[in-house]
Structure 1
Amino acid sequence: MLGLSVDRLRADMNRLLALLFHQGVLDEQFLQLQQLQDESSPNFVSEVVNIYFHESEKLLRNLRGLFCIRALELLEYEYCYLKNKLHELFQIEQQRSLAAAVRYPVQQEQQRPNNHT
């Protein structure tokens, strides 16, 4: 009965590997890595993959920090741009209001005597 479960696990493993190769998740490099594994290092592939995942997680954390910084810089730029442009708009609006409120006395033309002769 134990042999049946080993065969079943082997079949499940082969199906999963076939799926991963079909999806392009794994490639020939994984096969080459498997060829390096032998009886003296039966967990070689697993150890290499774990090292890969550990290093990748560190790189992803660093990249995430850089992207947050970049996103923050972009957000700050957009904030300052909006602030400056709205400030400029309000200044123009204030000047327009002041100009509209100031009424210069209209100089009436001096009436000229009509020379109707």
Structure 2
Amino acid sequence: MPLMALRERLNVLVNSMFLEGLLDQQFRQLQMLQDASSPGFVAEVITLFCEDSERMLTELTKLLDQAVVDYQKVDAYVHQLKGSSSSVGAQNVKLACIQFKQFCEENNKEGCLSALNMVKHQYYSLRSKFDTMLQLEQRIQAYDSEQQN
């Protein structure tokens, strides 16, 4: 697929993510930090966000599986996930975390379980699009490398 077509697919994907509310302006800020000296910057940030999010979601699931829930620990993980979501512009994940934090403050286990499911849903929706985005980025970089050689 020609380079221009790949770039167009990537732009369409990112624009659709904004329209769906998956991303906010913070993601545009990340994109502006990427330049010729760091062509993989956005991909690296997305990869780290996904790795951290997976780890936090696993920990949250374990914590909420306990008979006696440590809501302070749950809240700390939710706060961390909210922060990393904000830093990459993952708007829907961030908003779901805000709701989750409310249930933590109320020590509401059923609310927390429901909120965890919503956070997971929002995260996996975003993750799927991020995976496609990273694949397109890799193909664009490979194409650019071929053109330079």
TM-score (normalised: structure 1): 0.54
Equivalent position of 2:15 in the other structure:
18
User: SS in structure 1 opposite 2:5?
Assistant: helix
Matched with 2:42 is 45
Per-residue CA deviation, residues 60-90 of structure 1 (Å, 9 max, x unaligned), is 0100101211489x9xxxxxxxxxxxxxxxx
Question: Which structure has more RCO (C-alpha within 8 Å, separation ≥ 6)?
Answer: 2
Shift of 1:13: 1.0
SS state at 2:66 partner: helix
Structure 2 residue runs without a partner (length 5+): 70-108, 110-149
- 1:64 corresponds in structure 2 to 61
Judged with a 3 Å threshold, the aligned counterparts in structure 2 of structure 1 residues 68 and 11 are, in CA distance, closer, same or farther, namely same
Give the one of 10, 23, 28 matched to 2:25.
Answer: 28
> Residue type of the partner of 1:17?
V
Deviations 1:14-57 (A, max 9, x none): 11111100001111000000111111111001001111111111
Residue 12 (structure 1) shift: 1.0
AA of the residue aligned to 2:43: S
Return 5+ residue gaps in structure 1 as ranges.
75-117
TM-score, length of structure 2 as denominator length: 0.43
In 2, the alpha carbon distance for the partners of 1:24 and 1:32 equals: 16
Partner secondary structure for residue 39 of structure 1: coil
Runs ≥4 in structure 1, deviation > 4 angstroms?
A: none
